[in-house]
Amino acid sequence: MIIVLKPDASLEQIDHIIEKVKALGLTPHVSKGSERTIIGVIGPEDILRITPLEVFGGVENVIPVLAPFRLVSREFKKEDSVIDLGKGVKIGGKEVVIMAGPCTIENIDSLFEIAREVKKAGATVLRGGAFKPRSSPYSFQGLGKAGLQMLKQVGNELDLVTVSEVMDSCEVGLVADYVDVLQIGCRNMQNFNLVKEVGATKKPVVLKRGMASTVKDMLMSAEYILSGGNFSVILCERGIRTFEDSTRNTLDISAVPVTKQLSHLPIIIDPSHAAGKWNWVPALSKAAIAAGADGLIIEVHNHPEEAVSDGAQSLIPSKFLDLMGELKAVANSVGRKIS
């Protein structure tokens, strides 16, 4: 932590700050320049974080030296984390993992059909929502436990890893019983009770960035999960709210290199919820892999016109198959691969 003092800070004010820093058990190092004085503080920054030094007389600025997140940071772990999702699928290494499936699980037959198609095209993870965070209370809210049972059955029969959203902290145990990977949706990224509960499990988790959250906010939410003992976190950029209204959300592709620099955790892109329209999904998917994303989560539906949610952004299986061909070429060109 560096405390920058105002040019007119008095000696009394400087002494007062030094006394306060010492009283907290930390060591102040004072550097007097011709213009102003700065105090470098050595010791655990957390102690100073909860002390509002900015309000002390004579203080102009307080600059933290360390990022507020620890366990998720590159300083804590230099190598990329590779997370085992089960069924032979690992994310964070050379392999780019493709997750695909319907927005919402509707019935067992359509889930089977979509799952067969995405598997044939090369996806290794089947997505499908059973608890749906809908903007309207009148929209379909998901099949709940029955949907999870279908997902488990299809995942087991086709040997696909499964991922599904958990919306409520009291349902973490239920969802964890049925799926291989938990998903925390963008609307719940800062639902800290939910995030902590997921941190208490051993399940891998896809943590989606809130639509009005910074990358650092997302890393702080991930820190909750890691600090609870669960290191299997996959970050997910799914677009943020900006003034641009052509797309449903603005895909922040920079989130990929930024998180790669700040954190060892894998990051995937959800091009479907970013684009909002199926025909823009291929371009965003290719850009994501070129930028270094470790995976994609893409909505696919066999009859998008009849889908109960997000039909407009869902690829039909034949388009998904075409896209997979292109994605393999992009992955190869950046030294990655898609099985």
Chain contacts with ligand PEP (rule: CB under 6 A)? 103, 129, 133, 185-187, 208, 238, 270, 273
Of 55-63, 133-141, 241-249, 310-318, which segment contacts Mn ion by CB under 5 A?
A: 310-318
Give the nearest distance from C-beta 54 to ligand PEP in angstroms: 35
- Return the DSSP state at 170: G
Give the nearest distance from C-beta 287 to ligand PEP in angstroms: 18
Among ligand PEP, Mn ion, none, what does residue 260 contact (CB within 5–8 Å per kind)?
none
Closer residue to ligand PEP, CB minimum distance, 80 or 217: 217
Pairing of strands 27-32, 89-91: unpaired
SS (H, E, C) 104-130: ECCCHHHHHHHHHHHHHHCCCEEECEC
Give the nearest distance from C-beta 84 to Mn ion in angstroms: 26
Contact between 310 and Mn ion per CB under 5 A: yes
Closer residue to ligand PEP, CB minimum distance, 5 or 307: 307
Specify the 3-state DSSP secondary structure of 306.
helix
The residues near 288 (Cβ < 8 Å, ≥ 6 apart) are 251, 253, 256, 268, 269, 271, 296
Would you call 128 exposed, middle or buried from its count of C-beta atoms within 10 A (0-12, 13-18, 19+)? Answer: buried
User: Tokens 């470098």 — which residue?
Assistant: 40
Site string for Mn ion, 69-108 (x = CB under 5 A): ----------------------------------x-----
Closer residue to Mn ion, CB minimum distance, 53 or 315: 315
Pairing of strands 295-299, 125-127: unpaired
Give the nearest distance from C-beta 155 to ligand PEP in angstroms: 17
Query: Contact, 164 vs 183, CB < 8 A?
Result: yes
Residues shown for the chain: 339
Q: Which residue is nearest to Mn ion (CB)?
A: 103
Query: Contact, 313 vs 273, CB < 8 A?
Result: yes
Give the nearest distance from C-beta 219 to ligand PEP in angstroms: 17
Among ligand PEP, Mn ion, none, what does residue 52 contact (CB within 5–8 Å per kind)?
none
Give the nearest distance from C-beta 182 to ligand PEP in angstroms: 12
Helix axes 108-121, 145-158, angle to 10 degrees: 40
Among ligand PEP, Mn ion, none, what does residue 58 contact (CB within 5–8 Å per kind)?
none
What is the total count of residues that contact Mn ion (CB under 5 A)? 2
Closer residue to ligand PEP, CB minimum distance, 94 or 303: 303
Give the nearest distance from C-beta 64 to ligand PEP in angstroms: 30
Closer residue to ligand PEP, CB minimum distance, 106 or 270: 270
Give the nearest distance from C-beta 273 to ligand PEP in angstroms: 4
CA 326 to chain centre: 25
The residues near 74 (Cβ < 8 Å, ≥ 6 apart) are 261, 262, 263, 264
Specify the 3-state DSSP secondary structure of 88.
coil
Q: Which residue is nearest to ligand PEP (CB)?
A: 185
Q: Which residues of 267-276 are buried (b: 16+ CB within 10 A; e: fewer)?
A: bbbbbbbbbb
Site residues for Mn ion, window 198-237 (CB under 5 A)?
none
Among Mn ion, ligand PEP, none, what does residue 28 contact (CB within 5–8 Å per kind)?
none
**Among candidate residues 103, 81, 131, the one with its CA nearest the CA of residue 235:** 81
Query: Within a 13 Å sphere around the CA of 105, how many CA atoms are in the beta-carbon half?
Result: 30
Closer residue to ligand PEP, CB minimum distance, 83 or 206: 206
Closer residue to ligand PEP, CB minimum distance, 93 or 144: 144
Which parts of this chain interact with Mn ion (CB under 5 A)?
A: 103, 310
